[in-house]
Chains A and B, each alone.
With several copies, the nearest count.
Chain A
Amino acid sequence: MKKFVNDPKNYVAEMLEGVALANPGALRYVPAYNLIMRSDAPNDNKVSIVQGSGSGHEPAHVMEVGKGMLDAACPGDVFAAPPMDYVYETAKLLSSPKGVLLLVNNYTGDRMAFDMGKEMAEADGVRAEILTVNDDVAVQDSTYTVGRRGVAGNFFVIKAVGAAAEQGAELDEVIRVGKKVNDVTRTMGVALTACTPPAKGSPLFELGADEMEFGVGIHGEPGRERRKLKDADAIVDDLLEAVVTDLPYDRGDRVALMINGLGGTPLSELYILFRRAHQRLADRGITVGRSYVNEYCTSLDMAGASLTLVRLDDEIEGLLAAPAEAAVRVF
């Protein structure tokens, strides 16, 4: 296994310790609940923003804790939703008179843990609401499934609700904003390699040298279909077609465009994808108002990328442009 890992059972705990050590003063770490929280949270005059999810998606979400972003994140093990307890304890610790907003990526396990954790916290007097993120167009929303997955688009929901909460908005208002952003956000992903969960020690699946998985989520599972590998531009065209036609995004729209790396793909390639997407959006009469090229929501070491669009209006653009800090360090 070509990974920096000690005992795989300690993978998440050691990572979280690292995050805490790298952000002394700013973040607090509560090992019992895999909890990373702002040291200055909760704040009585601010809605607390919390997100769980499995680990393995870094920087989502533990490294998105900071001013104008999340107040706390309580990840489960790699690709496993946090146990209900973590959600319950986190909600209690982050309890504010203005309320706690629990952000959930739409997966069976996460939803169950958050539903149950929220119920229990409410029984203890915590004011809590859940907001579900489901931006993935690879999954057809039907009565047969749990519905669309929450993938890299969660960044925009976090950023928007984080900004609104920081500005003092009430819980209802924060939820309105979050729903609004989620409703105009769509993502489609592609994987070039399978990832290797540390506890498994080998890739989750085998992929031929000339194959890719189209329509993947963020848990290393196979996608909608296996396709022949294409060049970068052709892949972008396919991703963009799926995303643009889904909402749909129309001529005259102004959007945020995100190219998100899945973990094993270098920045250089992400910018090559970004270039094409930007050009093709221009061809369609869609203007890129804000650009995001980096890793935001990953699947361990998977080589691959996802493309996200957010339809902007003045309100959303203002929230996305609002100042923010995150644990993931650049300077």
Chain B
Amino acid sequence: MTMRQTEFVVRVIAETAIENEKYFGDLDSVVGDGDFGYSLARGFEKLLEGWDGLDRTDPGTFLKKCGIVITSRIGGTSGPIWGTGFLRAGAAAGDAAELTAVQVVAMLRAAIEGIKARGQSDVGDKTLLDALVPMTDALASGGLPAAAVAVREAADATAEMVAKRGRAAYTGERSRGSVDAGAMAVAVLVERISETWPKQGDAS
């Protein structure tokens, strides 16, 4: 993954999060407090506001800078969680000018470990980890198209879970029956990246 492709991915994430503000917020309204879409959208807007000034020395530096903006400017649970993900991914990327597929997967695994540590959470707690982990596994074995399919299935499957972390956990058994907002957001973002990636690949 080149610097340009890294930029592209982050930009798709940001724009897709902004577009889906209402959808993500509605997902968080079922057993949460409805602010998830708003938090992500406002945060990524801030990222885009300072977009041109972000340090683009290499993908790792770029991701870390994104992580700092996200961690410091997005509120709610999502700021620290998503920011940590970006920070750890950036750190794992080191100063490589271009990342191999294996390095991208390692980067995602680092992000996952960071989120687990920050959120004191794990797979099965009904959080975005339940989309992120299966997605990363699929990416490692089958590439982006496989990841896009896996992530949607995984996000849908969170409907069967009882939340053990996050605000949904307060409702206990009642959290069963609706998908986790964070997991579904990951699915939507990855699908969008997968859809737009070929064009990007062509263009680069």
Contacts and interface: CB of A to CB of B under 8 A. Distances in A.
Interface of A: 9, 54, 76-86, 88, 107-109, 112-113, 116, 138-139, 144-146, 149, 197, 199-200, 204-205, 217, 219-225
A115 B164 CA distance: 21
Contacts of A221: 31-33, 167-168, 170-171
Contacts of A146: 120, 165-166, 169
Given A79-B33, A108-B119, A112-B80, 20 more contacts: A54-B75, A77-B42, A78-B35, A78-B38, A79-B35, A80-B39, A85-B72, A109-B75, A109-B79, A146-B166, A146-B169, A149-B170, A197-B35, A200-B26, A204-B29, A220-B34, A221-B31, A221-B167, A222-B171, A222-B174
Nearest to B163: A145
Contact of A200 (B34, B77, B120, B168): B34
Nearest to B170: A139
A217 B170 contact: yes
B114 interface: no
B72 A84 contact: yes
**What 5 pairs across the A-B complex have the smallest Cβ distances?**
A76-B75, A80-B76, A109-B77, A219-B33, A112-B80
B56 interface: no
By DSSP majority rule, is chain B's interface helix, strand, loop, or mixed? helix
Interface string B69-86: 001111111111101000
B80 A80 contact: no
A113 B169 contact: no
Given A54-B35, A83-B79, A219 B167 contact: yes
B77 A108 contact: yes
Interface string B37-59: 01100100000000000000000
Nearest to B72: A85
B25 interface: yes
6 contacts: A54-B76, A76-B76, A144-B164, A146-B120, A146-B169, A221-B171
Nearest to B33: A219
B164 A80 contact: no
B91 interface: no
Contacts of A78: 35, 38
Interface in B153-204: 164-172, 174
A146 B35 CA distance: 19
B79 to A, nearest CB: 5
A260 B32 CA distance: 22
B72 A138 contact: no
Nearest to A140: B172
Nearest to A138: B170
Contacts of B77: 81, 107-109, 112
A223 B72 CA distance: 30
Nearest to A221: B33
B20 to A, nearest CB: 14
A220 B33 contact: yes
B30 interface: yes
Nearest to A203: B29
A81 B76 contact: yes
Contact of A77 (B35, B120, B174): B35
A86 B72 CA distance: 8
B4 interface: no
Given A81-B75, A109-B77, A145 B170 contact: yes
Given A80-B76, A82-B75, A200 B170 contact: no
Interface string B1-36: 000000000000000000000100110011111110
